[in-house]
Structure 1
């Protein structure tokens, strides 16, 4: 038994267990299982309602209903839970369906209006296909390897995002695209960062990284983009929709986040883990804020340093997920950006102890995080993200030390 345990530890340390062939094989297996599960889910549904009484694409129903309200000139109603729920039920011919709240800034109505111009099923298909294509293109640009598209497609967060009809693909594409273009097309990168404001909780740390690295053109482009989005929404929807949005924020904060209306097991944050373990709201916020301060300080150091850009990008993608108290398991699609950048650095410079196994854990954790948290209270998604961020910082610090020693060697020899 001791011999077997030593062998397992050795394999985990070296990562030799995860050969390219195995990685492709695991991805194919998960894709096949996921495809069969989706096919069965749709086959046994009653039209657009599944066997559990939920809409196909669950959360997408709030986007579609908000779009329908906007077509009717009632966009502000989307921020009223009762009116939004009525619109969701009307989408399914008055059938009783769960309530899925609309919490996005008014400029996200542009997407809602677009998908609501089609019937529900084609709108859902268009939304997922277009955003998934953008996600894959971004991952392929970051990590141009033969297996990238396969492994990125089989990433469990992808399957969760599809099941929920959610926007994880768009978030990952905007964040990854911005990082990919930051050096070569800084203004376009800034525009993508500005567009990411549709989910402002994921952009808290981005300004810190940009300011630390003095990327003023990207900062200006992001500011102008956000200003343009706000101005267009005012011009097209009026000021009342913004009043409704701000009025709805208390409901979002108290009911959805603080009271756990979404479900503690679904949220992959330090705040949620603390609340799930019995902490009160103030203690949970204190833990989340303390983590945010640590992330901000370390990111500022990292982005001001001369370490490889891949490590900076990986750290920022991971930290963006860790910093917010409200990050769902389908949001972990953005974790693919962190994995891709870390892997790219590893392929260039070699992998160190446990790094390959950690990347594998980060890849698989969205599949088990919700169930494990619900059954045991263990926040596996949070734990793996913290580990990935810690490993990224450690690699950055040791890489910097190695570079310093290498630069000093000629002087010492002289």
Structure 2
């Protein structure tokens, strides 16, 4: 066998293996679609057990109660909803009213209000579809080709996000788009970055990017649109809602992250904190390590965006990987942005590196498989590999016309 034929065989084998490793996820999605279609009213509970879609149902119920609270305060009356009264069995860990008890910022409450404008089952499907379309449109606007867009948005992490009814597809698509548009359309990038306020841990990388001297237009757009979104929350949450978020919700989330892994093992956990604890590292020491990695990633992001001329897609992929490492609290449904970045890199890297990026795209779902089998969470290792590889490919490039002005030509849009 010649070297060339061996190489072609290798290419076919790793592609076949990737397809086989991906197939369980569309099967899982199909099973979910059939189940929710046949039993639309079981989207919340089934024999007292939470179904995967319970995250979306939680948002929907919260939005319904927000509408009730708003109507009661303003004397607008309300329509009885027996289904709501019969199916809400959430025990709150605080004495605050439900509309003030919220693990997410009030910005997410705006989406919950929109969810609750439709019947629960219909709303689930409408908003799943809308998130896909919004993410795809913003990514296309940012210059990615359709192949990496749809492979990224239908990857393992996105399937997990879909069936859980979370918002990782939306936040992932917006984050990747914002990073790609940072120089070509900074104001649009700033608006997209502000929308990540619905889930702040997915935007931890952005302050260290936006505060660079060259990013002032994007920073101004982020602050301006962010303030507008905050103003929109005030009629429903008021100042009290924001105070409750900062005083009650953050400690509640920290308490959830600190829950004994023997009590609840987060197979879909995706953070360094979870990984270290799965290996028996004490909570305090794991927290210190997470803080140290956060600081290191912040410095790396500052350096990454300090020098112009870096390839846009590689810089975006390195940033998304570093952002994944920075998160102290997150799950695989928050890895859609990382998954998109790895697929985008797979389409532009060398054939020798392509299998690694595809493997990282797959690992954003199969991390849960390995965690269930081994009892260890390994997703941060994939993020580290992605960061190192993308960083290497994000080295500043010298334009061909730098030494020969006659060779200058029109700039290509990233991913065009």
CA distance in 2, matches of 1:41, 1:339: 31
Contact 2:279 2:376 in 1 (8 A): no
- Cα 1:218–1:128 shift into 2, 3 Å: same
Contact (CA 8 Å) 2:153, 2:336: kept in 1 or not? no
Q: Cα deviations across residues 72-103 of structure 1 (Å, max 9, x unaligned)?
A: 1179xxxxxxxxxxxx9963723757989841
Mapped to 2, the partners of 1:344 and 1:367 lie a distance apart of: 20
Distance 2:82 2:332 in 1: 25
- Cα deviation per residue 1:274-295 (whole Å; 9 max; x = unaligned)? 1222222221111111111221
SS at match of 1:34: helix
Q: Are 1:264 and 1:273, in contact at CA under 8 Å, matched by a contact in 2?
A: no
Give the equivalent residue in structure 1 for 2:189: 189
CA contact (8 A) 1:106 1:233 kept: yes
Mapping for residues 351-370 of structure 1, pairs under 5 Å: 351=350, 353=352, 355-370=353-368
TM-score, length-normalised on structure 1?
Answer: 0.80
Structure 1 residues 303 and 71, CA gap change in structure 2 (3 angstroms): same
What is the DSSP-based 3-state SS (H/G/I as helix, E as strand, rest coil) of the residue aligned with 1:238? helix
User: How big is the shift at 1:17?
Assistant: 4.1
Q: Label 1:91 to 1:133 Cα distance change in 2 as closer, same or farther (>3 A).
A: same
Shift in CA distance, 232/97, structure 1 to aligned 2, threshold 3 Å: closer
2:325 is matched with which residue? Answer: 322
Which residue of structure 2 lines up, in the alignment, with residue 94 of structure 1? 87
Structure-1 separation of matches of 2:157 and 2:40:
26
- Cα distance in structure 2, aligned partners of 1:277 and 1:189: 38
Q: Which residue of 2 aligns with 1:53?
A: 49
Within the candidate set 287, 297, 300, 1:298 is matched to: 300
How many residue pairs end up in the alignment? Answer: 381
| Equivalence for 2:147 | 147
Q: 1:254 to 1:158 in 2, by over 3 A?
A: closer
- 1:336 matches 2:304: no
Indicate how the Cα distance of structure 1 residues 121 and 405 shifts in structure 2: closer, same or farther if over 3 A, else same.
closer
Q: Determine helix, strand or coil for the equivalent of 2:54.
A: coil
Question: 1:18: how far off?
Answer: 4.7
2:115 paired residue number: 115
Alpha carbons of structure 1 residues 208 and 127: separation in structure 2 relative to 1, 3 Å: same
Is 1:382 matched up with 2:380?
A: yes
Contact 1:190 1:220 in 2 (8 A): yes
> Which of 391, 394, 397 matches 1:396?
394
Mean Cα displacement is larger for which, 139-148 or 154-163?
139-148
Unaligned stretches of 5+ in structure 2?
Answer: 72-80, 94-100, 405-416
Secondary structure of residue in 2 paired with 1:291: helix
- Equivalent in 28, 36, 43 of residue 34 of structure 1: 28
Distance 1:162 1:251 in 2: 27
Partners in 1 of 2:381 and 2:85 — Cα distance?
39
Q: 1:124 to 1:146 in 2, by over 3 A?
A: closer
Q: Quick one: distance in 1 between partners of 2:56 and 2:62?
A: 10
- Structure 1 pair 45/182, CA: closer, same or farther in 2 (3 Å)? same
> Do the aligned partners of 1:139 and 1:340 also contact (CA within 8 Å) in 2?
no
Distance 1:250 1:137 in 2: 32
Separation in 2 of the partners of 1:262 and 1:109?
27
Q: Quote the residue 2:217 is aligned against.
A: 217
* In 2: Cα distance, 1:24 partner to 1:281 partner: 36
Residues 268 and 331, structure 2, Cα contact 8 Å, conserved in 1: yes
In structure 2, distance between residues paired with 1:58 and 1:177: 28
Greater share of helix: 1
2:142–2:181 Cα contact (<8 Å) kept: no
8 Å contact from structure 1 (residues 178, 188) kept in 2: yes
User: Relative to 1, partners in 2 of residues 1:10 and 1:380: Cα closer, same or farther, differing over 3 Å?
Assistant: farther
2: distance between equivalents of 1:26 and 1:386? 25
Deviations 1:301-326 (A, max 9, x none): 11112321222111111211110111
C-alpha distance in structure 2 between counterparts of 1:337 and 1:163, whole Å: 18
Alpha-carbon distance between aligned partners in 2 of 1:105 and 1:266, rounded to the nearest angstrom: 22
**What is the rounded CA distance, in whole Å, between the counterparts of 2:111 and 2:88 in structure 1?**
24
Q: Cα offset for 1:224? A: 1.4
**After the TM superposition, which of the residue ranges 269-278 and 250-259 deviates more from structure 2?**
250-259
Closer/same/farther in 2, CA of residues 23 and 147 from structure 1, 3 Å limit:
farther
Report the Cα distance in structure 2 between the residues aligned to 1:245 and 1:369, rounded to whole angstroms.
Answer: 31
Mapped to 1, the partners of 2:92 and 2:333 lie a distance apart of: 18
